[in-house]
Structure 1
Amino acid sequence: MRQVLLFFIIFTSFFAVAQNNVYNPLKSKGKLFEYAMFTKAPITDVQELITKQNQLEFQNLSSENQSVGFTSDDYWVTFRLENSASNEKTYYLETARPVTDVAYLYQLQNGKITKFSSGDGIAFEDRQVSHRETVFKVQLPQNTVQKFYLHLKSDGETLNLPLKLYTEEDFTESQL
């Protein structure tokens, strides 16, 4: 009986995670961090991460601004976004502290990987969004689900893993 109960708990937990791993800003309850997972891995190439992701121990984020403490390790966050609308949607993703050296966002779409750069160690003119914070502009084509990987690295500073997704209007308003 105990084994059956344990199997049921594991199965339903897996099913619940599988059901909730896509965040739809128009329909999902909760916040993006509740649909994301992270791992510490000595990997700097997204292709290598994708190849080895089944061997890595991804964990759920526990808060909207999770800290992993003082570190110079490489951290990866993954999440999926859905646009169920019949038109393209644009969002702004705020992540990492402004002093985080490197923040690379990778968007997977139709077998293609697009890389966006931000972070304190990235020249202002080379950032995807010219902003004092670590911000990315995310464009979601109509009726699609897009997978994202976020690579964060610092030189020993406190590293946080925030994921705040804003509509264009909300982002503009938050800057006033």
Structure 2
Amino acid sequence: MEQLNIVALLILVLTTKIFALSVNVDLQDAAPIKLKFIEDKQNTMLFDDVVSSDKWNNNVTETINFGFTDSAYWFTFNVNNTSKIKKTALLRISYPMLDYIELYRPTENGGYEKTIVGDSFPFHQREITDVAFVYLLEIYPGTNTFYFKIKTTSSFNFTATLFSVKGFLHHLNVEQPLIWIYYGLMIIMVVFNFFVFLSIRDFSYLLYVLFITSWIFLQMCLNGYAFQYLWPKQVWWGNNSLPFFMALTITSCAIFLLRATDVLWKSRKIIIAHMILIIIPGIIIALSSLAIQYKFAIKIATGFTICAVCILFPMQAYALIKKSRIARFFAVGFLGLSIGVLLYALKTFGVLPATFVTQWSIQMGSAFVVLFLSFALADRINVMRRNIEVLYEDKK
């Protein structure tokens, strides 16, 4: 299908009325869908098999989360149109890293139309331009049953949301400015600190720039913006860039924290521990992610990230015990990021509802940590300046 642009969506707004998602539920803007699913462990089930199957399972939450799995899954949901004319809606499957999605939409003659997309295909093949997977649904009078199959080597998690066309446009108008404000602030911090490095030649600033730059690319990979804007035709790199930047981000973070924290940098044993446990493995994992299959690379990179964080926190706790000034800023900053990651994880697992705070908690947490790391580096310069002034006064 040809891609639908915003002008086409605006036309649809003028010709689309609101319909019921299910009995006694009116779709005004957006409604998360609770899906039924069948696990296809051998990836051998055909569309006719699932249509006639009686083995459907109810998903208890609005979020699908099967972790890393080799199984394919089939999903189904019903949309009820109580009027006598055809309506229009949009289905959005949220996670941008899903490899293969096979959607079956009912047609007017009683058959089904198949559409295949996913991040295993060039970005331009998507029928609607969005970082996630968005489909135009035609809802005929009566009950409409939709099916889709997903097979992926990434983490298997997503939410499916049904939008009115007006609701989808509202979603874009809210999300797009916020996400680009976030990336704009992060880029400003990179540029500012790079010029500070050029001015004072403190290597800590260059390491900080490397860490934040890696983090930006990592977030763009996770959010789908890297695939949309930076490498829309590079399918292989679009997948493998995620474990690469994941390993690079945690490695550059470890190097930065080691170099910037005076107590840690003065300890030969801690430097060696960082090198053996984080830095060397991180570099190896980042490079190997370019040579091995994505399904192995992402699991290795994820495991490495968890282990590295478990090492970095005790290191910073040790620096706090030793009363390192800069470690105080790091502790506050990474506490904010940890809270953000925790809220997002609880939202993903369905423990917390999908609200503005839980949806954007990682971005808010990362902005918080970037801010406090900048404060830490600024405080470091102030301490150095005061020490120089004291030395100067002593010489006088």
Q: TM-score range by the shorter chain?
A: 0.7 to 0.9
Identify if the C-alpha distance between structure 1 residues 45 and 122 changes in structure 2 by more than 3 Å, giving closer, same or farther: farther
Q: Which residue does the alignment assign to 1:134?
A: 133
Range with bigger deviation, 127-136 or 98-107: 127-136
Unaligned runs of 5+ in 2: 1-18, 174-396
Structure 1 vs Structure 2: percent identity of aligned residues? 22
Is residue 38 of structure 1 aligned with residue 26 of structure 2? no
**Residue 104 (structure 1) shift:** 1.6
Q: Which residue does the alignment assign to 1:166?
A: 163
Q: Which residue does the alignment assign to 2:151?
A: 153
Q: Is the 8 A contact 2:100 2:120 kept in 1?
A: yes
Identify if the C-alpha distance between structure 1 residues 33 and 61 changes in structure 2 by more than 3 Å, giving closer, same or farther: farther
3-state DSSP class of the match of 1:86?
coil
**Residue 88 (structure 1) shift:** 2.1
- Matches for 1:46-61 after TM superposition, within 5 Å: 46-51=47-52, 53-54=53-54, 57-61=55-59
Q: Which residue does the alignment assign to 1:73?
A: 71
CA distance in 2, matches of 1:32, 1:72: 26
Letter in 2 for 1:46: F
CA distance in 2, matches of 1:72, 1:122: 19
CA distance in 2, matches of 1:26, 1:47: 24
3-state DSSP class of the match of 2:71?
coil
Letter in 2 for 1:50: V
**Residue 27 (structure 1) shift:** 5.0
Q: Is the 8 A contact 2:87 2:138 kept in 1?
A: yes
**Residue 100 (structure 1) shift:** 0.3
Deviations 1:48-98 (A, max 9, x none): 3335x23xx321112111201111311011111111123322111111510
TM-score by length of 2: 0.35
Q: Is the 8 A contact 2:22 2:79 kept in 1?
A: no
Q: Is the 8 A contact 1:83 1:89 kept in 2?
A: yes
Q: Is the 8 A contact 1:118 1:129 kept in 2?
A: no
Deviations 1:3-50 (A, max 9, x none): xxxxxxxxxxxxxxxxxxxx932753495533x311111235313333
Q: Is the 8 A contact 1:96 1:103 kept in 2?
A: no
Letter in 1 for 2:165: E
Q: Is the 8 A contact 1:92 1:166 kept in 2?
A: yes
Which of the two has higher C-alpha Rg? 2
Q: Is the 8 A contact 1:44 1:74 kept in 2?
A: no
Is residue 175 of structure 1 aligned with residue 172 of structure 2? yes
Bigger relative contact order, structure 1 or 2, given CA contacts below 8 A and separation 6+?
1
The root-mean-square deviation of aligned C-alpha atoms, in Å, is 2.3
Q: Which residue does the alignment assign to 1:5?
A: none
3-state DSSP class of the match of 2:136?
strand
Which has more strand, going by share of residues?
Answer: 1
